[in-house]
A and B are shown apart, each in its own frame.
Chain A
Amino acid sequence: MTPDVVLAARAVSKQYPGTTALDGVDFAARRGKVSALIGENGAGKSTLMRILAGVEQPTAGTLELDGRPVRLASPRDAAARGISMIHQELNLLPNLSVADNIFLGRERTRYGILDGNAQERQTHDLMARLEQPVDPHILVGALPLGYQQIVEIAKAIAQDVRILIMDEPTSALSAAEIGVLFRLIRDLKSRGVAIVYISHRLEEVIAIGDRVTVLRDGRAVAEAAADAVDVAWIVEKMTGRTAAGGVPSGPRAEPAGAGPPTLSVGGLSLEDRLHGVSFTARGGEILGFYGLMGAGRTELFETLIGLRRVRHGAIACEGRAIAHLGIPERIRAGLALVPEERRAAGIVPTLSVRENIALAQTHGLYLSPAAERRSAAEFVRELNIRAASLEQPITSLSGGNQQKVVLSRYLLTSPKVLLLDEPTRGVDVGARAEIYAIIRRLAAGGMTVLFASSELQEIMTLATRILVMAEGRITAEFAAAEATEHDLVAASAPTMAHLNGGD
C-alpha cells in the first residue's frame, strides 16, 4: 500500500438489526489529500464516517492507522490519535463563548486554574489564520449558522488534527464562506492533513476532492481520481443508472403564466433585519429568493408565516390582509412554511411518520387515525417517501424522506402559497431531483411557491423568477431566462450603499 495512506478501512462491514449498512468496504484517507465520499442517503456514508471517527465499531473488518491495525474505542480515543470529525449537525454549546467551545475538554490552565486569556489569545490567532473575524468572547448561540460551522472547523484544527472528517461542511455556507473553507482545506492539505470529505454537491466534490469514492447500498462501487471524473459519472455510479444531462438540473422552468396575484407584500420592515421589502407573487410562479447568509431570507419567510410580528408593512393573501393574524389563521388563509432547520423546526422526533404528516391538520374534537392513515398513505405514495411503515418513528427515515414528510404535512393544508426555506439542505441528489419535480408539479397546479436558497444552481434551475436579497432588502429581480450567475452574485453582495447614500 502506498505510504501516504494514514487511515484505512479494510473490508469493513456494519450490521444493524435487520439491515446491513456497510458491506465489505475499503476506503483510504491519504496524507495531504482530500478523499471524497459520496453516495445517496442510506448508502452508508454516515456509518462509515462514524466508524472512522470511533463513534461506532465495525461488525467485521479492520481499521489501519499508519499501516497498523487499530481499534478506535470512542471519539475521544480517535481524537487522541489525531482523528477529528465535523458533524453536519454542529456539536457546539450555544451557551459558551467561541473560545470556550474551541477548548472544551482541553482547557488551558495555569496552576490548575482556567486560563481564559490564553484560550482567547489562541482563538484569536486561529481565527486570524482562518480569515474569519469571529470574536473569541462572543457566545456561539449568537453567531449565524455559517460562522458556527467555522468555529467547529477551528475547533478541530486547534486539536492538531491529522485526519479531518467533514460531513456536508458547506450545506449551511454561503458562496463566500465556501471560498474561505476551500482555501482553508487547501491550507490543511499543504500541512499534510488527510481530509475525508462528504458532500451532496457533486461539482464541489470534484472541485475540492483528490480522490472520489462512491458508495451504493453499503458497498464501495467505484473509486477514481477526482480530475478524471465528471458529475454524470458520479451520478451513474451512485444511482446505478445513467443520467442524461447531469443532476439535479432538470428542464429549466418555463416562465410562469400570468396567474392571479396570490401574495402581495408591501413595505415589510423588521427592526434591522428587513427594510421595506415589497413584491407580488402569482399563482403558478416559483419565486426564488437568492442571498447570502444573513441576507434576511429566513426572516422574511418567518415574518410571512407569522413567527415574527409585523411592525411595518402589509401582507395580503388573495387580497385579504393577514399581517395581524396568528400562525394557525395564516395557515387556514393558505400559507405554509417548510422551515430551513428540519431537526429544530420541522420534524417532531417523538411522533410517527403518520402523526408528523397529520400534525398541521389536527383540528376539531376527535382524531381519526384511519383518516390520518389514508391521507398519509396518499402522500407517501405521491411523494415517493421511503418508509417501511406509517407508524415507524420519523427519526428512522433518511434526511430527504424526513423533508418530504414535512412537505407532506404542509401540502395537506392545501396551501395557496408555499414557502420553502432551503428545501434541499442536507438532501441527497436523488431526493433533491424528486423535490424539484414535486415543486414544479405544485406550481403547474396553480400553487405559488416561494423558496429561499443560497445555492446558485438551485435558484437558476428551479425558479421562474428570481429575487435577490442583501442586508434585508430586495436588491434585484430577474426573470429566470435573463439571470446569469454573475448578476446574481453581484446583486447579493453586501454593499453598504444605503449607508453612503448611494442607493
Chain B
Amino acid sequence: MAGALLFRLRALVALVVLLIVFSILSPAFLTAGNLTILLKHVAINAIMAVGMTFVILSGGIDLSVGSVAGLAGMIAGGLIDRGLVLPVFGVVVYFQIWLVIAIALAGGAVVGTINGLLISRLSVAPFIATLGTMYAGRGVALLLSSGATFPNLLGRPDLRNTGFPFLGSGTVLGVPFPIWLMLLFAVAGAFLAARTPFGRHVYAVGGNERAAQLSGVRVKRIQLQVYVISGVCSAVVGLIIASQLASAHPATGQSFELNAIAAVVLGGTSLMGGRGSIGGTIIGALVIGALADGLVLLGVSEFWQIVIKGIVIIVAVVLDQLQQRLQWQPSRP
C-alpha cells in the first residue's frame, strides 16, 4: 500500500531523492544561495508550465509560449526604452511601468486569443495553430526592433518609468520576486483547476468533449480561455526575463515550450488531456530545475546534462504508462 502510494507520488519522490543525492555529493547544493538561484530558474519554467497545464488538460498543446515570452519582453522593452512613437501627432509617449506591464500582458492574451479562436472556431489542430503563431510571434518580436536588442530597461526618472527591474531582480522579505510570482501562479492555478467550475470544465473537455458539450459546458469558450491563460503566463515569463537582464532581446524564450511541456509531463499530466494537476507540474519543474542545477555543481558536461534530461522525461512517461496499465480495470459488460 505504501509502495503504491510512493509510486503514485513518484515525481515528488524523484525530487526528494535528487535533493538528497545532490546535497551529499556537493556541499554547495543545499545552501541558501544556491537554492535561491535554483528557484529563480525554476520560476521561469514553472509559470509558463502552469499555463501549459491548462492547455494540455483541455486536450491541446501550446507551442507558441516561447515566442510569446520573447514578444512580451520586446513590447515592454520598446515601450520603456523608446516609448510609443505616434507619428501623426509627432510625439513619443512613455508609459508608467504598471501600464507597460499591462500592455505586454495584453500582448500575450492577444496571441492566446488568436490561438484559441483558430482552434475552437476554425477547428485548426492545436499543434498546427500554435506552431503558426510560434513563428508569427517570433517574427513580430524581431520586427519590433528590426532584430536588435532594447538595451536599457532601467527607465529614466524624468520620464517616471523606472522600477521595471524589480519584477525580476527585486526581493520581498529577502526572497526574489520571481519566486513569489511562481508561488502566486502555482496557488492560483491549483485553485482554478481543482476548485472552480472553470477547472472542472477544462478536465471535462479534455476527458470527453462531446459529453462535456451535452452537459452544458461551453466547450469552445473553455478552449479559448485556456490559450489566453497560457498566453498571459508566457508574457509574465517574458517580462521577468527582460527585467532580470534589464534588456529585451527578440530571441528570448526560444525552445522554452519544450521545457514547459517537459515539466507538465514529468508532473504526471496526460498529453491526451483530462488527467493531471498543477501541483504535479510544479514538482515537474522543480525536478528539471534541481537536475540542471545539481549536474552543473557536479561538473557534469553540458552535453551530458541534455542527454540525462531526455532520459528522465522518457522514464517519467514510461512509468506513467505503467501506472495506467496497473490500474485495475474490471470486466466490461
Contact = CB atoms under 8 A, between A and B. Distances in A.
Size category of the binding interface on chain A: 35 or more
A44 B331 contact: yes
B215 A350 contact: no
Interface of B: 194-197, 199-201, 203-204, 206-208, 210-218, 270, 273-275, 327-333
Interface stretch (A241-249, A265-273, A337-345): A337-345
Interface stretch (A27-35, A146-154, A184-192, A364-372): A364-372
A340 to B, nearest CB: 11
A398 B333 contact: yes
A396 B328 contact: yes
A433 interface: no
A301 to B, nearest CB: 10
B181 to A, nearest CB: 23
Contacts of A396: 328-330
A366 B195 contact: yes
Interface stretch (A13-21, A102-110, A292-300): A13-21
B328 A355 contact: no
A45 B329 contact: no
Contacts of A18: 328
A345 B333 contact: no
A355 B274 contact: no
B123 to A, nearest CB: 16
A362 B208 contact: no
Nearest to A365: B196
A3 B332 CA distance: 32
Contacts of A25: none
A331 interface: yes
Given A396-B330, A400-B333, A345 B211 contact: yes
24 contacts: A17-B328, A19-B328, A42-B330, A327-B213, A328-B216, A331-B215, A332-B216, A337-B214, A347-B211, A348-B203, A348-B211, A348-B274, A350-B275, A351-B274, A355-B203, A359-B200, A359-B212, A359-B217, A360-B215, A362-B197, A369-B195, A393-B327, A399-B333, A427-B333
A351 B203 contact: yes
Contacts of A399: 332-333
A359 B275 contact: no
B264 to A, nearest CB: 16
B203 A350 contact: yes
Given A350-B207, A363-B197, A409 B215 contact: yes
B215 to A, nearest CB: 4
Nearest to B274: A350
Nearest to A400: B333
A398 B330 contact: yes
A350 B331 contact: no
Contact of B214 (A41, A332, A339, A366): A339
A359 B219 CA distance: 13
B214 A45 contact: no
A94 B152 CA distance: 58
A346 interface: yes
A360 B216 contact: yes
A19 B330 contact: yes
Contacts of B217: 328, 359
Given A327-B214, A365-B197, A367-B194, 16 more contacts: A18-B328, A327-B213, A328-B217, A348-B203, A348-B274, A350-B203, A350-B207, A360-B216, A362-B197, A362-B200, A366-B195, A367-B197, A369-B195, A396-B330, A399-B333, A400-B333
Contact of A21 (B274, B327, B331): B331
Contacts of B208: 344-345, 347-350
- Lowest 5 A-B CB distances belong to which pairs? A350-B274, A350-B207, A41-B333, A328-B216, A348-B207
A159 interface: no
B207 A367 contact: no
A488 to B, nearest CB: 28
A362 B201 contact: yes
A360 B201 CA distance: 10
Interface string A372-412: 00000000000000000000010110111000000001000
A344 B207 contact: no
Contacts of B199: 367
A97 interface: no
Interface in A23-57: 41-42, 44-47, 50
Contact of A349 (B194, B201, B207, B215): B207
A305 interface: yes
Nearest to A359: B215
A307 interface: yes
Contacts of B203: 348, 350-351, 355
B207 A366 contact: no
B26 to A, nearest CB: 41
Contacts of A41: 333
Task: Pick the most buried of A41, A50, A88, A350: most chain B CB atoms within 10 A of its CB.
Answer: A350
Contacts of B195: 366-367, 369
A369 B195 CA distance: 8
A415 B217 CA distance: 16
Nearest to B273: A350
A458 interface: no
Task: Pick the most buried of B211, B273, B330: most chain A CB atoms within 10 A of its CB.
Answer: B211
A316 B19 CA distance: 64
B333 A42 contact: yes
A364 B201 CA distance: 12
Nearest to B4: A17
A427 B332 CA distance: 11
A50 B216 CA distance: 37
A428 interface: yes
Contacts of A337: 214
A239 to B, nearest CB: 15
A426 interface: yes
A354 to B, nearest CB: 11
Given A362-B200, A400-B333, A16 B211 contact: no
B210 A351 contact: no
Interface string A66-93: 0000000000000000000000100000
Contact of B216 (A44, A327, A344, A346): A327
A308 to B, nearest CB: 12
Nearest to B221: A328
Nearest to A168: B333
A167 to B, nearest CB: 9
